[in-house]
Each structure stands twice: as structure tokens, then as C-alpha cells.
Amino acid sequence: MDGDLVLRVVSDVPISDEELAEATRDLKDDLNELPGVEAKDLVTAAEPGTRDPLTVVLGMLVLSLFSYPTAKRAKKDLQHLGEIIRRYQERHKGKRVQIDFPDGTRIDAKNISEKNLTELLKSMPHQHPDSIDDEVSVD
């Protein structure tokens, strides 16, 4: 998970585990449509004494970015990633996405513009420095 983002779906009102799982699955499906992006459920070791060796953490995804970047493709994918998160939040009223960066920074995507989110993603240290152009513009 080193270098990956952790996305957390947060509801402004109490919801059931099933609703949270469905909302998270919708976000994961949207994110996995982007080339070079892999979103998967966050799993941890299960509680001692349970049969399942792993437990899915509800509402949380691990997002790996740009396994095969090119400069133009990565720049475009960053813009699309911000757009996907914004559209997800518009479709799922009352829910928002929090993003944990590898350096420990946490942002609430509800309070950040697509352009600023793109700039934050671009500055992530694990990306190859030549994979993204210096100038990012969001239309």
C-alpha cells in the first residue's frame, strides 16, 4: 500500500453497512474505468478467532495510480480522476470522499476543486517525475 491513496466514503447522515458498501462499490467501479488506475477494497487482518483471515474495511478503498503512465495519458487521467470524484459526490448526495495521501495528509474532496485535487495528485512523490507535465489545466 506504500505510495497508494486511501479513499474513504463518508456519509453525513447515519446509513447501514449495506448502503455504505453499495456507495463504495459504485465509486470503485467508476474509478476502475480509468486506464492506469486500480481501486480495490481495503482489507485488513480479521479479528482473532474468526474464520475469515481478512476483513474488508467498509467504506474504504486503496487506489493505485498509473501503473503504465505516459506524460499525456497521466495528465488526462488526473483530470478525469478529479472529475469522477466530483460526479460521484453529486450523484450520492450526503456522501463525500476523503482522501489519505501517502505522506499522511487527509483531504475532504467535498471541499476541494477539481483543479486543486489534480495538483495534489500530481505532486504525489511515488509518481515518476516525467510522467506528468508541469502544467495542468482543468476545463
pLDDT-derived band at 45, boundaries 50, 70, 90: confident
Q: What pLDDT sits at residue 97?
A: 92
pTM value is 0.73
Cell numbers for 139, please give them: 476545463
Helices 17-31 and 71-91: angle between axes, nearest 10 degrees: 150
CATH number of 5-128: 3.30.70
pLDDT digits (tens, 9 = 90+) for 49-105: 776 666 677 888 888 876 555 545 556 666 788 888 888 988 998 899 998 888 888
Q: Which of 117, 111, 78, 79 is nearest to 96 (CA)?
A: 111
